[in-house]
A and B are shown apart, each in its own frame.
Chain A
Amino acid sequence: MPVVSPHTRLATIEDLFRLNYRPLCMFALHYLQDADLVEDVVQECFTVLWEKLEQGADVANRKAYLYMAVRNRCLDHLRRKGLPTESLKPYDTYGIIDDDDAEERSVMEAKLWTAIDSLPEKCRQVFLMSKRDGLKYEEIAEELGLSVNTVRNQISKALNVLKNGAAKLYSFILGFF
């Protein structure tokens, strides 16, 4: 149904942002591997959808439209850089996956991202140094002036939050579809 009043239109686009912005960024990140570029691309796609709604166009499935628009723009970027796009799939997906799976994966990754964002700062710092930067517990302890035991505790706390959080989120997502 076309969105008629400007007020409803704004509420619609804000809702689409809240539910899909971060997942769409994760989706685009698989293609582009560049967070700043990803934010620009996703913004452009929201703007195109916004202009369509303003012109009174009837976009039936707005979420699917956004995913399609983001993918097409990402592929444009890759083509311009002369990278292969024959498979029309993200090139680091550990095997080819279909659109629905790609969307579900993006939602999952966005939740993980949010969960990491929500960790207490010290806990997150220790966790990133270990899991992302590959530092040993001893090295982290020395750099931050903590005991090895504290480092171990912080990491297990972070993993616990992500693991339990992710498991619950998974069942939520599966139950939802």
Chain B
Amino acid sequence: MSHSEDRHLDFVLKHYQPGKFDTQKAIGRFKDANGIRPLPRRRWNTVIWGMSAVAVLLLGVFLFMHSDYRRWTEVTADTSVQTYTLPDSTVVTLAPGAVLSYRSDSRKVKMSGKVFFDVTRDENRPFEVEAGDAFVRVLGTEFMVNDIDGPQGEKPVKVYVAEGKVLFAKDSESEGLILTQGMGATLEEGAAVPVFDEKADINDIAWQRGTFIFDDTPLKEVLTCLSEYYKVSFVADDLSKRLSGEFYTDDLDLIITLIEAALDVNIIKR
């Protein structure tokens, strides 16, 4: 390392604290401070207000047509990942394009797209998710439901459990699978029961965590994971190497550079 680089490194080392100057956290703090992502309670009040006004105007129509419509509140994420806190303090993280509806008086939610749930514990009131033709009942805490149409328009629903335990089935009456930490399963369109995913892994929720985690992972799998996330393909001159480490999702070029340096390989984006 040259003299000037040594000086840079000395300065960085002198002040280094793991996880400090986290850009993602800074954006969250900035949004909170400037009211850009309204606090959940405020948003909740606003939505109720709007709904009540509509309800008064169209009360008759609503009573006939949608007797419980008024009680559903919808939250969405347009172009960036959004986080909301539900009335029961469950935290939901929505990937771009996801929609979630909830009610103030129950722990049942409906959703489409990709949503990560961090559910508060309440033994007496199970938390339940409806995603298209699939149903999840939470017996534990953190999991993700992915209800995104496949490339051929097929509609599988995927569940990945980060922590805790969930029941995954077609509906609340049918037979299902119990999934625990690190397990995933898919319910194909039209299927009666979901099947376990062989290759479910923590990086399925990289978008929510903001990091990729590899632990002695073959480079081939690492590149597959990155190419699914960033929608680009890669070629490398030696796929037999294995990688361990944690990488921020917000800088693909840096990830590639670090992998190349750590494993002494060349990687080319295509």
Contact = CB atoms under 8 A, between A and B. Distances in A.
Contacts of A80: none
Given A21-B23, A39-B21, A118 B1 contact: no
A35 B34 CA distance: 22
Interface stretch (B4-12, B86-94, B124-132, B134-142): B4-12
Interface stretch (A64-72, A81-89, A139-147, A154-162): A154-162
Contact of A114 (B14, B34, B254): B254
Given A21-B23, A105-B8, A161-B262, A120 B79 contact: no
Interface string A16-29: 01100110011001
Given A14-B80, A35-B15, A114 B251 contact: yes
Interface residues of B, number: 42
A124 B245 CA distance: 10
Contact of B14 (A46, A132, A160): A132
B258 A131 contact: no
Nearest to B79: A11
A11 B246 CA distance: 26
A113 to B, nearest CB: 5
A114 B248 contact: yes
A47 interface: yes
B26 A17 contact: yes
B190 interface: no
Contacts of A29: 11, 15
Contact of B247 (A13, A42, A108, A118): A118
B7 A94 contact: yes
B19 interface: yes
B17 interface: yes
Contact of A166 (B5, B19, B78): B5
A40 B45 CA distance: 30
Nearest to B261: A164
Contact of A168 (B20, B21, B80, B261): B261
Interface in A120-137: 120-121, 124, 128, 131-132
Contacts of B29: 43
Nearest to A157: B262
A102 interface: no
A125 B7 CA distance: 20
B260 interface: yes
A124 B18 CA distance: 9
B30 A17 contact: yes
B49 interface: no
A163 interface: yes
A110 B250 CA distance: 14
A43 B33 contact: yes
B99 to A, nearest CB: 18
A118 B248 CA distance: 8
A39 B26 contact: yes
B27 interface: yes
B85 interface: no
A21 B23 CA distance: 6
A165 B258 contact: yes
A115 B258 contact: yes
B97 to A, nearest CB: 15
A3 B14 CA distance: 39
12 contacts: A14-B27, A26-B12, A47-B33, A94-B7, A105-B8, A108-B8, A111-B254, A128-B16, A163-B1, A165-B254, A165-B257, A166-B9
Interface of B: 1, 5, 7-9, 11-21, 23, 26-27, 29-30, 33-34, 36, 78-80, 244-248, 250-251, 253-255, 257-258, 260-262
Interface of A: 7, 10-11, 13-14, 17-18, 21-22, 25-26, 29-30, 33, 35, 38-39, 42-43, 46-47, 50, 92, 94, 105, 108-121, 124, 128, 131-132, 157, 159-166, 168-170, 172
Per CB-CB distance, the 10 closest pairs between chain A and chain B, nearest first, are: A164-B261, A132-B13, A25-B21, A21-B23, A120-B245, A112-B12, A165-B261, A161-B261, A120-B244, A22-B21
Given A10-B36, A108-B5, 19 more contacts: A11-B79, A21-B23, A21-B26, A21-B27, A22-B21, A29-B11, A33-B15, A43-B29, A47-B34, A50-B34, A108-B8, A115-B254, A117-B246, A120-B245, A132-B13, A132-B14, A157-B262, A169-B254, A172-B253
